[in-house]
């Protein structure tokens, strides 16, 4: 019991003492919220693409530019160590990747 307390308690104290406001201040939270809204906006389209199994109406250049833009914005966020850009552009890149996948799979039908 004493051994477990020695191992578990110090890391918990470090987490409790860590100043999360330095990483996630209101500006970062605002950025994450904005990015989350953009990411969520892709979900109904993705749902419809896979439900109907049709992507004729989706533009391939649009999908490719969205994917490239998301990847470049992700790299930009990593270079500048901006958590809001990193988190939201990972989600956006995955979702746009799903749209591109659906376009390639169902686009000709």
- Does the residue 58 lie in any domain? yes
Query: What is the domain count for the chain?
Result: 1
- Using the 8-state DSSP alphabet, how is residue 56 labeled? T
CA distance 10 to 97: 42
- Does the residue 42 lie in any domain? yes
Question: How is residue 62 written in tokens?
Answer: 């649009």
pLDDT at 68: 96
- Does the residue 3 lie in any domain? no
Question: How is residue 73 written in tokens?
Answer: 């914005």
CA distance 91 to 94: 5
pLDDT at 48: 94
Q: 89, 101 in Cβ contact below 8 A?
A: no
Residue 4 has pLDDT above 90, yes or no: no
Tens-place pLDDT, residues 51-83: 999 999 999 999 999 999 999 999 999 999 888
pLDDT at 73: 92
pLDDT at 11: 53
Residue 108 has pLDDT above 90, yes or no: no
Q: What is the CATH number of the domain that holds 74?
A: 1.20.1280.290
- Does the residue 98 lie in any domain? yes
Its pTM surpasses 0.85: no
For residue 17, the tally of other CB atoms under 10 A from its CB is 7
């Amino acid at each position: 019991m004493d051994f477990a307390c020695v191992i578990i308690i110090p890391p918990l104290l470090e987490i409790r003492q860590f100043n999360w406001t330095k990483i996630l201040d209101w500006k970062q939270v605002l950025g994450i919220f904005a990015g989350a809204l953009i990411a969520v906006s892709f979900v109904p389209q993705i749902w419809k693409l896979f439900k109907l199994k049709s992507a004729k109406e989706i533009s391939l250049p649009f999908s490719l530019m969205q994917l490239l833009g998301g990847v470049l914005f992700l790299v930009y966020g990593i270079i500048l160590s901006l958590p809001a850009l990193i988190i939201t552009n990972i989600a956006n890149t995955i979702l746009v990747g799903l749209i591109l996948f659906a376009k390639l799979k169902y686009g000709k039908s």
